Structure 1
Amino acid sequence: MPNTDNQKRGGGAARAAGILCRDPMFGLYLDQRARSKFGADVADGTHNEQDARDWICRACGVESRREIDGSPQARATLRTISDRFSAWKTRKKSAEYGGADARDRSPDH
């Protein structure tokens, strides 16, 4: 069976991973996560799209984002990453507009 464009690019999970990687806020999430979880000395804006891609691939245990669709474990991991990122964005917005304390601005994992 010949490769189709969809097989080369991956399915919905691979596309979702690509969208995350291109989101500048996801890079900021990774910056803050590195500081809060690992004590890394990184400034906001350190993680770029390629760093995000590499991080997601490592976290999901794949070499390419398109492999995520073929692995139930990788899809579940990506879903967890996406959920945590969404929760972080919500807390960050709340902190900006509602005055939450610093604990609420840092990534939980």
Structure 2
Amino acid sequence: MSDTTQKGGQNARRAAMLCQNPRFWLYLDHRWRAKHQLSASEFPDGTHKAAGATRWLRKACGIQSRAELDHNVEAAAMLEKVLAAYSKWERQQRQRQGGSNV
């Protein structure tokens, strides 16, 4: 009997931390509004939470489990793209706030 369950490693942990981050949830809210041309009143900040972020990330990476991120090269590459886009958004948010650490 072989065990086909994959164990998660560093990428799975990074994805788990990302999906628990309220700032990432806010990023997903902003992204969704922009994609669907919605106003903040139609799709308010705080709509995404951990479960929604996890579902979104799995879909974006084409995986069923975050553990696959450590065994699927394409999924890992998509995780890197998501992290890069999120980091860029965070930098833009800081610039819009005038560089203050709010």
TM range (shorter): 0.7 to 0.9
Cross-structure match for 1:97: 98
- State the match for 2:85 in structure 1: 84
How far did 1:63 drift?
A: 0.5
Structure 2 equivalent of residue 53 of structure 1? 54
Give the deviation of 1:20 after TM superposition: 0.6
Tell me if 1:68 matches 2:69: yes
Measured on the aligned residues, the alpha-carbon RMSD in Å equals: 1.9
Q: TM-score, normalised by structure 2?
A: 0.85
Question: How much does 1:97 deviate?
Answer: 1.2
Please state how far the C-alpha of 1:67 moved relative to its aligned partner: 1.0
Q: Distance in 1 between matches of 2:11 and 2:37?
A: 30
- Structure 1 stretches of 4+ with a deviation exceeding 6 A read none
Name the structure 1 match of 2:22.
Answer: 24
- What amino acid is aligned across from residue 23 of structure 2 in structure 1? M
What stretches of structure 2 of length at least 5 have no aligned partner? none
SS across alignment from 2:89? helix
Residues 38-77 of structure 1 deviation map (CA, whole Å, 9 limit, x = unaligned) = 2243100000000000000000000111111110000000
Identity of aligned residues (%): 38
What TM-score do you get using the length of structure 1 for normalisation?
0.80
Paired residue total: 94
Q: Distance in 1 between the 2:36 and 2:73 partners?
A: 28
